[in-house]
Structure 1
Amino acid sequence: MKIFKWLLVVIVLVVIVAVVVAWTMPADVAYRYMASRLGPVSLVGVRGTVWDGHADGVSVFGRDLGELDWKVEKAPLLLRSVHADLRIRGADIDTSGMLKRDADGNINASDVRFRVPASLFSPALDLPSLRLLGTVSGTFKNLSLVDGLVANASGDARWSDAGVSGSAEARFSDILAEFSSKPDRSIAGTVADDGKGNLAVDGFFSITATGFNAEAFLAARNNDQRVQEALRYIGEPQADGSSHLIINGQLFPVF
């Protein structure tokens, strides 16, 4: 009986120590153990705790995104679920949102707000003669991944101060996009201008696990010479002076 009592005491002490260690574990110690499981994500200057921490730098596929702050809720861990509030802030990137990972491995992100330079999308659009100007901002109202595939997603984006430089120089009005998930677990959306500028845009796009494709018709309003010149380097010229743009590619070039 005494052995049983002593064993029980040891087990309780071990549990208490484990809880204290986990509750106060420095973030840099946890990162050293977890770094090999983060794939293309790399952190530097990690400090704070696993519950409330900061990294001076976070990079994805070798691209530096800025500083990372996180807060992890403790209570959901009792149900083997992780709820984390994340924010990435860089010189020209600002992204924040709530990320949840359930016990079954499924991931859900909500109210994800982002702001990135339009030039980030230049490699994916494959327009070597032009550099995209302005900022793309928007919101993922929700994004769910089941078995690594999109199960539910919706959101919108706005390309503000839109324009191009390089072989041609032109400024456009804002360009808007709306998107949502489809039953086949792809994401589909529409693209259009806000009607206030001299570039008319009417298009659509879809994103799958293997890549994306987009198609749009672009035209100059009011015979704008700068826009007409820029359209010479975008897509296939049409008989009416518009341009037909078709893009098929991978998402990885964005990073």
Structure 2
Amino acid sequence: MIKPSHLLLGLLTYLAMLVLTIPAQQAYRWLPHAGAGPALYGLEGTVWNGRANTAMVGLRDLGSLQWRVNPLWLPLGRLRVAWTLAGGDTTGQGVLQAGFGGRLQLPALELNLPMGTLQGWVPTLPVALGGTLQARLHDVALHDGHLQQVRGTLVWEQAAVEWTQPVALGALALELAPGPGDSIQGTLKDRGGPLQVQGTVSLLNSGVLQFVATVMPRTNASPDLVRALHMLGAPDAAGQYHLQWNGRVPMAGRGISARL
């Protein structure tokens, strides 16, 4: 005699398989707010294994997006999706894992995107940013859309800022790891460019961001970089400029929000 629990499990598995084999184009039409997030065009395949020839955020083309659902996680009540983004200036790949209780995990995330694209999503900076952001993250955890944990490295390659003309900064790296009291701690260093940088970043659970750093031009720094540093104030006796900023990130919870 078939046990009711086994029958229920089989029914749920069948329903999950039925949903995942729906054509991706049809499923996308059913989304209540499909236009509110990334817009997908040229959909092919199924919810299980599909592709969008073009993924756009606003007017920015991110290239093609491919995804594949791992069926082995479905009986455990979890959704695990491997994805790849390619074909445009922005490239990336990773694994997305979701379960009950509003918890979202990214065990692995690799992303490369122009800083201009990133600035387009956060257009409040008074200067233009140049270069490329390389993200190599793992153990990323979000709950109800708010960042809870992250490990990994963010590298700003060919970093540059522009007031009246571009000023090259070299390459800057931020190492991220969980800190005390559910905070997220970051160590900021340069990678041997014209600007020497040492600093720390702390994102507290309350949403407060604390940034402390010292910067100093190296002997190969351009005159434009030296003049830009003078705008920060007077250096100390060692020639270092001290930077400090404390403030609340203008979003709810911890301050970084992401939703499916």
Alignment of 1:61-140 (within 5 A): 64-89=61-86, 91-122=88-119, 127-128=125-126, 130-140=127-137
Distance 2:79 2:216 in 1: 48
Deviation for aligned residue 1:144 = 1.4
Partner of 1:167: 164
Give the secondary-structure state (helix, strand or coil) at the position aligned to 1:172. Answer: strand
Q: 1:9 maps to what in 2?
A: none
In 2: Cα distance, 1:181 partner to 1:95 partner: 23
Q: C-alpha offsets along residues 151-172 of structure 1, whole Å, 9 cap, x if unaligned?
A: 4321112222222334244323
- Counterpart CA distance in 2 for 1:162 and 1:63 is 21
Contact 1:169 1:230 in 2 (8 A): no
User: Could you tell me which residue of structure 1 aligns to residue 53 of structure 2?
Assistant: 56
TM-superposed CA distance for 1:230, in Å, is: 2.8
CA distance in 2, matches of 1:163, 1:246: 20
User: Which sections of structure 1, spanning at least 5 residues, go unmatched?
Assistant: 1-13
TM-score normalized by structure 2?
A: 0.74
Quote the Cα distance in structure 2 between the aligned partners of 1:61 and 1:212. 28
For the residue of structure 2 that corresponds to 1:28, the secondary structure is: helix
Match in the other structure for 1:229:
227
Q: In the alignment, which of 196, 200, 203 is matched to residue 199 of structure 2?
A: 203
In structure 1, distance between residues paired with 2:12 and 2:125: 58
Identity %: 27
In the superposition, the TM-score normalised over structure 1's length comes to 0.76
Give the equivalent residue in structure 2 for 1:6. Answer: none
Does the 8 A contact of 1:231 with 1:242 survive in 2? Answer: no
Q: Deviations over 1:200-253 (max 9, x none)?
A: 1112223357474433222212273232023245xx312435444445454799
Q: State how far apart, in whole Å, the 1-side matches of 2:55 and 2:91 are.
A: 12
C-alpha spacing 1:62/1:110, structure 2 compared with 1 (3 Å): farther
Match of 1:44 in 2: 41
Distance in 1, matches of 2:48 and 2:76, equals 16
User: Which one has a bigger Cα radius of gyration?
Assistant: 1
- How big is the alpha-carbon RMSD for the aligned residues of Structure 1 and Structure 2? 3.5
1:151-190 equivalences under 5 Å are: 151-190=148-187
Structure 2 contact 13–74 (Cα < 8 Å) conserved: no
Contact 2:40 2:52 in 1 (8 A): yes
- Amino acid in structure 2 at the alignment position of 1:172: L
Q: Describe the superposition over 1:169-206 as per-residue Cα deviations: whole angstroms up to 9, x where unpaired.
A: 43233211101123544322011112x23211112223
Unmatched runs of 5 consecutive residues or more in structure 2: 1-10
- Aligned residue pairs total 238
| Aligned AA (2:226) | Q
Indicate if the aligned counterparts of 2:235 and 2:242 stay in contact, CA closer than 8 A: no
Query: In 2, Cα distance between the equivalents of 1:16 and 1:98?
Result: 22
User: Structure 1 residues 54 and 208 mapped into 2: Cα distance closer, same or farther (>3 Å)?
Assistant: farther
Deviations 1:131-152 (A, max 9, x none): 3222111311211123444343
Q: Is the 8 A contact 2:64 2:88 kept in 1?
A: no
Q: Give the Cα–Cα distance (whole angstroms) in 1 for the partners of residues 44 and 123 of structure 2.
A: 37
